[in-house]
A and B are shown apart, each in its own frame.
Chain A
Amino acid sequence: MMLILLPVFGERFYIQFASKILIMIIFVSSLNLLVGFTGLVSLGHAAFFGSSGYVIALLSPIGTSMNLFVALLSSVLCVGALGAVFGALVLRTKGIFFIMSTLALGEMLFYFLHDTAFAGGSDGIYIHDRPGFNLFGWWQLDLSNVSHFYYLALILVCLVLMLIKRIMNSPFGRVISGIRVNEHRTKALGYHTYKFKLVCFVIASMIAAISGFLAAVQFGVVNPEMVGWHASGHALMMVILGGKGSILGPVLGTTTLMLVEEIFQVATKHWQLLTGIVVVLVALFFPNGLAGLNFPKKRPET
């Protein structure tokens, strides 16, 4: 309820900040699909987040605005194709090798966007006319309006969370969980695990594309940093902080970390130091994250 009413009462800054959190929730959820549900620790997931932004920035015509649905769909499909290529490569490896090769491929994309002229180099590209949507001429969705943007992000978050829940409850999701727990056994049951992992990887990249699309449209700019591995590492922190492998974990982890970081940033210039300490402590002492915390219940007195 509070989430729906926020734009009515909230100030511009808070609405924007809340939208940022919503965008990150989508991204972290897509990573959680890999890390938490399938057991694939990817350090290059930001490649899909960032490249989605680049797709929309390169496609956007100057002067007119694109139809929102066409824009979103083309982003998601392009990134899905990229995800299929990357996935087909990195899924040939396992464990620690997988971590290293995802990171390396993500960085390859970073250098590609950073070094070539058409992608605007280290400055990135501006999106001058954001995609919009016109409902039969009597209502216009304007994404430069912070409230409109917020509602779009909120709706997409709900859709994505429902989609992930649906996937995990389907027979496909069962196989995916089986791969996480014991891949050899799942294989022995007759499932072609490589194909299942690849499909899951592509789905995760497409969901990441939704968040990348929103992030690019929110401030109308993309830059190579969106693809870099620190963005992936940051999302990974949120996954484990919230508790991997639960639908609501990313919501909890993302919101908490972003709020905490905002407080740190106000408190000190060296906020990354504090973030680092928090991450180390969480990973060492609360490996199951906030969702896995068991608050000791009061024992009934005897």
Chain B
Amino acid sequence: MDAATVLIQAMNGIQYGLLLFLVASGLTLIFGIMGVINIAHGSFYMIGAYLAWSLMGWVGSFWIGLIVGVTVALLLGLVLEWLFIRFLYDRDHLQQVLVTYGLILIFSELRSMIWGDDVHSVPIPELLNGSIQLTENLAYPIYRLWLSGVCIVIAILMFLGIQHTRLGMMIRAGESDREMTKSLGINIGLVYRFIFALGVSLAAFSGMISAPISSVFPGMGSQVLIVSFVVVVIGGLGSIKGAMIAALLVGLIDTFGKVIHLDIFGVNIFPEMSGMSIFALMALILMLRPQGLFGRER
């Protein structure tokens, strides 16, 4: 591989990592603050991508579709929290897993009823269609750069929001002591509902902006869910910083695993087994540091 290929693959890896961060941060927020494991998180990503596809068809503009889609996801999050999730705060993990697993089945079947089981593609919005010339014969698509930029902006906003706003203060208070926060007159139920809806819309938003660079297909939800779990396990549960670093690591390893060619003892390790590389990394982290890179000792 020459330097230019490495550079392009590195940029792809970082971009994939940033996208993973958006999905995984929603997961880790919902767990870190509310103590709920939400395995339906991937479904919201999938719903986002399908929304992007069908809204493009209806309104014809990617941008209006994006706004409408995020609004829909936010409302969906609020309704789901009110219907199901709020009953799960005091329950054990097994029931949380089962309720959200049931939601996966429901959403995947609804998706099949509404949108069918076909694979679709979403065109890149015209404004960002094109590429930047890096060297004479290598170019990088603008859309991918824009996507990375958006992810970075959201990450910064999230960090500032949690550390420096009144709402962020309530969230952090609710995280450390739910009962105490309640008795100080803060409607913690409402804060939780907002957090859950935020997580849902983050996942859906990631699905929507990733739709133009990858195809829209039924299994995309569980695929992203599993990779996000790997990210969260590596980064440490409830840690936004850990999620960021782990997501970048996973993005880079996964991307490079697909382009490297490596045979050991005649067995083709890469790229044939590249699907396993991130799991191998996770196993290594589990051996060396079971609480994750930035997880608290518990």
Q: Hey, which chain B residues are within 8 Å of A273, CB to CB?
A: 105-106, 109-110, 113
Which of B97, B106, B280 has the most CB atoms of chain A within a 10 A radius of its CB?
A: B97
Bound complex: CA of A273 vs CA of B106, how far in Å?
5
Whether A41 contacts B97 in the complex (CB less than 8 A), given A96-B237, A280-B84, comes out as: yes
Whether A280 contacts B106 in the complex (CB less than 8 A), given A101-B282, A233-B101, A236-B98, comes out as: yes
CB distance from A274 to the nearest CB of B (A): 9
CB distance from A191 to the nearest CB of B (A): 20
In the complex, residue of chain B having the shortest beta-carbon distance to the beta carbon of A228? B222
Bound complex: CA of A236 vs CA of B99, how far in Å?
11
In the complex, residue of chain B having the shortest beta-carbon distance to the beta carbon of A233? B101
In the complex, residue of chain B having the shortest beta-carbon distance to the beta carbon of A86? B283
Please provide the chain B residues from 265 to 286 with a CB less than 8 Å away from any CB of chain A in the complex.
Answer: 272-273, 275-276, 279-280, 282-283, 286
Whether A270 contacts B279 in the complex (CB less than 8 A), given A90-B286, A94-B298, comes out as: no
Bound complex: CA of A94 vs CA of B105, how far in Å?
26
Please tell me the size bucket of the interface on A. Answer: 35 or more
B95 within 8 A of A: yes
Whether A105 contacts B105 in the complex (CB less than 8 A), given A97-B233, A116-B272, A240-B94, comes out as: no
Q: Hey, which chain A residues are within 8 Å of B287, CB to CB?
A: 89, 92
Q: Hey, which chain B residues are within 8 Å of A233, CB to CB?
A: 101, 104
CB pair B93–A283 under 8 Å, yes or no, is no
In the complex, residue of chain A having the shortest beta-carbon distance to the beta carbon of B287? A89
Q: Hey, which chain B residues are within 8 Å of A89, CB to CB?
A: 283, 286-287
A84 within 8 A of B: no
- Contact partner of B112 (CB less than 8 A), chosen from A93, A240, A270, A287, is A270
Whether A240 contacts B98 in the complex (CB less than 8 A), given A92-B287, A95-B93, A270-B109, comes out as: yes
- Contact partner of B273 (CB less than 8 A), chosen from A92, A115, A237, is A115
CB pair B95–A280 under 8 Å, yes or no, is no
CB pair A275–B105 under 8 Å, yes or no, is yes
A114 within 8 A of B: yes
A104 within 8 A of B: yes
Whether A111 contacts B276 in the complex (CB less than 8 A), given A96-B37, A97-B233, A104-B226, comes out as: yes
Bound complex: CA of A233 vs CA of B39, how far in Å?
11
In the complex, residue of chain B having the shortest beta-carbon distance to the beta carbon of A93? B290
CB pair B102–A279 under 8 Å, yes or no, is yes
A100 within 8 A of B: yes
B246 within 8 A of A: no
Q: Hey, which chain B residues are within 8 Å of A272, CB to CB?
A: 105-106, 108-109
CB pair A104–B273 under 8 Å, yes or no, is no
B194 within 8 A of A: no
Bound complex: CA of A115 vs CA of B273, how far in Å?
7
CB pair A92–B290 under 8 Å, yes or no, is yes
- Contact partner of A276 (CB less than 8 A), chosen from B102, B272, B279, is B102
Which of A236, A237, A280 has the most CB atoms of chain B within a 10 A radius of its CB?
A: A280
CB pair B272–A115 under 8 Å, yes or no, is yes
In the complex, residue of chain B having the shortest beta-carbon distance to the beta carbon of A239? B94
CB distance from A272 to the nearest CB of B (A): 4
Bound complex: CA of A35 vs CA of B94, how far in Å?
8
Whether A236 contacts B273 in the complex (CB less than 8 A), given A99-B37, A272-B108, A273-B110, comes out as: no
Bound complex: CA of A38 vs CA of B275, how far in Å?
32
CB pair A108–B102 under 8 Å, yes or no, is no
Please provide the chain B residues from 20 to 65 with a CB less than 8 Å away from any CB of chain A in the complex.
Answer: 31, 37, 39
Q: Hey, which chain B residues are within 8 Å of A14, CB to CB?
A: none
B164 within 8 A of A: no
- Contact partner of B279 (CB less than 8 A), chosen from A108, A229, A240, is A108
CB pair A115–B275 under 8 Å, yes or no, is yes
CB distance from A264 to the nearest CB of B (A): 11
Q: Hey, which chain B residues are within 8 Å of A230, CB to CB?
A: 222
Q: Hey, which chain B residues are within 8 Å of A94, CB to CB?
A: 298
Q: What would be 25 A-B contacts, judged by CB atoms less than 8 Å apart?
A: A41-B97, A89-B283, A93-B286, A93-B290, A100-B229, A100-B232, A100-B233, A104-B226, A105-B282, A108-B283, A112-B273, A114-B275, A115-B272, A229-B222, A230-B222, A233-B101, A233-B104, A236-B98, A273-B106, A275-B102, A276-B106, A276-B109, A280-B84, A282-B98, A284-B95
5 residue pairs, one from A and one from B, having the closest CB atoms = A276-B105, A108-B279, A279-B102, A280-B102, A111-B275
Q: Other than the known A97-B291, A101-B282, A114-B275, what 6 A-B pairs have Cβ atoms closer than 8 Å?
A: A41-B97, A93-B290, A97-B237, A111-B279, A276-B109, A282-B98
